[in-house]
Amino acid sequence: MKKRILLAVCLLLLAAVSVQAEEPPANPPLDWEISVRPKPSEEEIERQRWLHVFSNDIGTFVFDHKSLKVDEADNNLVHVLTKTIFTDPKLIGSLNDKYQEKLTAADKVAYSEIWMAFKTRDKTYAVTGIKVVSEQGTVLEERQQTAKFAPVPVKTFADSMYEIVKNYVRNN
C-alpha cells in the first residue's frame, strides 16, 4: 500500500514539472581568442604561404606549400604552384618590352606563377599553367596548357621541386 502511494506521489510530481526546450540565446556567445602574439596581417599570411627553394641570377624561386596535392585519379601525379620573383634587370627589361602594351609607365614585370605537375615514379614533370604579374598586380599573361611531361633536368628548379614533391608523397 505504501509503495502504491509513493508511486502515485512520484507520478503526480513528474506530471507537475513541465519540460521546456531551451531557447537559443538571442546573441551568439563572444568569440574569444587568447594569444600573446598579435594576429598576422593579410600581407604576413601571404608571405608565410610561400616557402623559399633557392635564388639565382634570374630570381627567387618559391612554392606554395598549401598547394601540394596528390591527384585523386593518379596517386603518382602531384600538382604544385610555384612562383619566380624576377631580380635580373636584363630579364625584367625584356619582359617589360614583351608586355609593354599592358604595362603603365610606372609599372614593370614582377613575378610569374607556374603550375607544375610531377610524376614521382617516372621522375618527369610538366608545366600546366602560367601567370605573369606586374608589380601593381596587373595580370599580363595567363594560360593553361596540356601537360607534356619531360624528364626532370639535374640541378635545376624542377629538380629541387621534384625532391620536395617526393618527400611530400613519402610523408603524407
For 109-118, the pLDDT digits (tens) are 999 999 999 9
Q: What is the number of domains present in the chain?
A: 1
Contact yes or no for 51/62 (Cβ under 8 A):
yes
| Any domain includes 82 | yes
pLDDT of residue 17: 57
The pTM of this model reads 0.74
% of the chain beyond a pLDDT of 70 = 84
* Structural domain harbouring 94: 41-171
> pLDDT confidence of 45, banded at 50, 70, 90?
confident
Q: CA of 47: how far to CAs of 36, 41, 50, 112, 126, in Å?
A: 21, 10, 6, 16, 26
| Any domain includes 20 | no
| Any domain includes 8 | no
CATH number at residue 130: 2.40.128.710
| Any domain includes 142 | yes
| Any domain includes 127 | yes
| Any domain includes 7 | no
Top pLDDT among 29 and 123 is at 123
Contact yes or no for 116/122 (Cβ under 8 A):
no
Q: Cell 585523386 appears where? A: 72
| Any domain includes 4 | no
